[in-house]
Amino acid sequence: MAVRIIETAPYADQRPGTSGLRKKVSVFSQKHYLENFVQSIFDSIDAPPGSTLVLGGDGRYYNREAIRIIVGMMAANGFSKAIVGCGGILSTPAASHLIRKNGAFGGIILSASHNPGGPDGDFGIKYNSENGGPAPEKLTDAIFERSKSISSYMIHDDFEIDLDRIGQSQVGGMIVEVIDPVSDYADLMESLFDFDLIRTLLNGNFRISFDAMHAVTGPYAKEIFENRLGAAAGSVVNAVPLIDFGGGHPDPNLTYAKELVETMYGENPPDFGAASDGDGDRNMILGSRFFVTPSDSLAVLAANAHLVPGYRSGLLGVARSMPTSGAVDRVAKALNIPFFETPTGWKFFGNLMDAGRVSLCGEESFGTGSNHVREKDGLWAVLFWLNLVAAKRLSVEEIVKEHWKAYGRNYYSRHDFEEIPLEAARASMETVKARFPSLPGSAFGKYKVAFCDDFAYTDPIDGSRSEYQGLRIIFEDGSRIVYRLSGTGTIGATLRIYLESFEPDQEKQGMDAQEALGELISISRALSLLEEKTGRNTPTVIT
Ligand code: VG1
Ligand code: CO
């Protein structure tokens, strides 16, 4: 009998964070660690016998081994089919699409997103539900509860599968279907955007550079930009997914996407630059010597969506996470469409999309997406921008400046303080919170506090409540300081301070963001006693 029941003991630390369980590879390689979590998922989701799951990951170290284990556990747990990306590869948005397209019960995505990979890096696992989106908190809480009492798991451990060959095989009573990870996703993109128009743009003098950062988007970007859209060979760089991402940190921002930034700010830069993260759900957009903040990007996409075939009939509504700048709020107002402010993390957008309340969503953390899937989508955002550039016949910089002129500019920046001892990070947060009763009405230079709170959210669709989602201080002129502890880091705590001010006057929209936000930055440090509590004053990463 190849199905075995293995005895195990619980681990206490399997609480999923902002998007799934993320830990060091050394943690995941502990005995039964992955198996415990996978069995906890299966015990919590209540999949009827004969269900299908989609399975794939971003190709990082331990991806293949984990897929083999999960296939064996699926077969032993009574699933009838596993749809697996060839080579174990599936970007997060492609997995979301496959779950929806195949009517699967759900999917398991192996990724730690933008966190570094390799034997000393991070690994992660996330369960997505049948709508293609990250499991809601109710389910992740149940998985965590289960993980604390688990005593055995089931696995089929005697089978052969060839992950690198497209086709079907049998594991016990289950079919394993290895599929091309790219084609369905590329077809979906082709159905949303004007590929002919973009092709004309790319066949002219317009040059693009897409940096896949040796992560999952390489094969997708090659197929879409070079094969289907005719971009010059070599437009996609670092296109081969590597288990350690080439030693890099696959996080598309100005700090970690250094190579792309050098290209775009160097001599004779391409007209358009973009990058994505480890699992393909984030995006960074650059013009020649010009950076688009993700919050502005969301606002620009919303304001111009009617120029793109997939959104020609207008948007149902838009949503942004609380720390994301208010740029999109004004677009929603101008378009007279519903607007929602949710906690951080994509899972909160899913209910709104399923209920037909929003079409476009975004986060300040380089995440943008729409109701075409239930995850944020890096390549989708890049194609959206290319479609806009082609339709408007303007450069990236011109499009953004035109937007600021019409709607005003939100100066915006996020300061991350990584690897702080948890206690110190909490002390700094508590310092801010303790001031709340006395803050409203008090002035700091030109900034007068209008309102402050610890952000909480009641889901308008299912009524579920999420609390402690970040401390926000809102000033009378609409400027904001937000403090939040990250839910995705794997070492100590990461304290994020988000800063934002609004500038309607076109004459004053040309400043450097750090300069424009200078006073707010000082206030943010003072209110949190940051240096005293954490010993830090200089952020590890500024975006
Ligand atoms: C971060 C971002 C958040 C994003 C999350 C997952 O979370 O701030 O906006 O949704 O990563 O992104 P946190 O809790 O560390 O701030 V990804 O690309 O990992 O799926
Ligand atoms: Co990601």
DSSP assignment of 390-434, as one string?
A: HHHT--HHHHHHHHHHHH-EEEEEEEEEEEE-HHHHHHHHHHHHH
Question: What's residue 283's pLDDT?
Answer: 97
> What spacing in Å lies between the alpha carbon of 280 and ligand 2's midpoint?
6
Question: What's residue 215's pLDDT?
Answer: 96
Q: Taking residues 369-398, what's their average pLDDT?
A: 97
458's CB contacts (< 8 A; 6+ apart) are: 464, 465
Structure tokens at 417: 């303080």
Substitution site in 15, 19, 325 for ligand 1 pocket (most atoms within 8 Å of beta carbon): 19
DSSP sequence for 216-229: THHHHHIIIIIIIT
Indicate which residue's Cα is closest to atom 8 of ligand 1.
365
Atom in ligand 1 nearest the alpha carbon of residue 22: 19
Indicate which residue's Cα is closest to atom 11 of ligand 1.
488
> Minimal CA–CA distance to 337: which of 356, 324, 354, 318?
318
Beta strands in 247-338 (DSSP E): 272-275, 284-287, 290-292, 318-321
Question: What's residue 244's pLDDT?
Answer: 93
246-263 pLDDT tens trace: 998 999 998 899 999 999
Question: What's residue 136's pLDDT?
Answer: 87
Atom in ligand 1 nearest the alpha carbon of residue 363: 9
Structure tokens at 165: 């060959």
Give residue 276's pLDDT band: very low, low, confident or very high (50, 70, 90).
very high
Give residue 1's pLDDT band: very low, low, confident or very high (50, 70, 90).
low
Indicate which residue's Cα is closest to atom 4 of ligand 1.
345
Given a cut of 80, whether residue 18 has pLDDT beyond it is: no
Q: Is 516 helix (H, G, I), strand (E, B) or coil?
A: helix
What is the rounded CA–CA span in Å between residue 378 and residue 360?
Answer: 13
Question: What's residue 490's pLDDT?
Answer: 72
What is the rounded CA–CA span in Å between residue 249 and residue 116?
Answer: 5
464-481 pLDDT tens trace: 899 899 999 999 988 999
Which domains are assigned to the chain?
4-180 (3.40.120.10), 185-407 (3.40.120.10), 409-542 (3.30.310.50)
217-247 pLDDT tens trace: 999 999 999 999 999 999 999 999 999 999 9
What is the rounded CA–CA span in Å between residue 79 and residue 51?
Answer: 5
Report pTM.
0.94
> What spacing in Å lies between the alpha carbon of 368 and ligand 1's midpoint?
12
Q: Which amino acid appears at position 429 of this protein?
A: M
The rounded radius of gyration (Å) of the Cα atoms in the chain is: 23
Question: What's residue 489's pLDDT?
Answer: 72
Indicate which residue's Cα is closest to atom 16 of ligand 1.
486
Structure tokens at 303: 């304001």
Given a cut of 60, whether residue 491 has pLDDT beyond it is: yes
Give residue 307's pLDDT band: very low, low, confident or very high (50, 70, 90).
very high
> What spacing in Å lies between the alpha carbon of 534 and ligand 1's midpoint?
22
Given a cut of 80, whether residue 538 has pLDDT beyond it is: yes
129-168 pLDDT tens trace: 999 999 988 899 999 999 999 999 999 988 889 999 999 9
The CA distances from residue 403 to 116, 119, 201, in Å, are: 35, 45, 22
The two beta strands, 471-475 and 480-485, are antiparallel
196-211 pLDDT tens trace: 999 999 998 899 999 9
What is the rounded CA–CA span in Å between residue 472 and residue 452?
Answer: 5
What's 90-158 look like in SS3?
A: CCHHHHHHHHHHCCCCEEEEECCCCCCCCCCCEEEEEEECCCCCECCHHHHHHHHHHHCCCCEEEEECC
- Active centre residues (catalytic): 113
Question: What's residue 474's pLDDT?
Answer: 95
CB atoms < 10 A from the CB of 74, how many? 29
DSSP sequence for 337-403: --EEEE-SSTHHHHHHHHTTS-SEEEETTTEEEETTSSS--HHHHHHHHHHHHHHHT--HHHHHHHH
> What spacing in Å lies between the alpha carbon of 87 and ligand 1's midpoint?
26
Q: Which amino acid appears at position 70 of this protein?
A: I
What is the rounded CA–CA span in Å between residue 397 and residue 467?
Answer: 38
What is the rounded CA–CA span in Å between residue 472 and residue 481?
Answer: 6
Atom in ligand 1 nearest the alpha carbon of residue 126: 20
Q: Which amino acid appears at position 121 of this protein?
A: G
333-351 pLDDT tens trace: 999 999 999 999 898 999 9
100 near 115, Cβ under 8 Å?
no
Residue ranges around ligand 1 (CB below 6 Å): 18-19, 113-114, 277, 281-282, 321, 344-346, 363, 365, 367, 486-488, 496
Given a cut of 90, whether residue 6 has pLDDT beyond it is: yes
Max mean pLDDT among 324-328, 476-480, 491-495 falls in: 324-328
**Average model confidence (pLDDT) across the chain:** 95
Q: Taking residues 79-101, what's their average pLDDT?
A: 97
Atom in ligand 1 nearest the alpha carbon of residue 17: 14
Given a cut of 70, whether residue 288 has pLDDT beyond it is: yes
What is the rounded CA–CA span in Å between residue 217 and residue 226?
Answer: 13
Indicate which residue's Cα is closest to atom 19 of ligand 1.
113
The ligand with the least distance to the CA atom of 365 is: 1
> What spacing in Å lies between the alpha carbon of 331 and ligand 1's midpoint?
24
434-459 pLDDT tens trace: 999 999 999 999 999 999 999 999 99
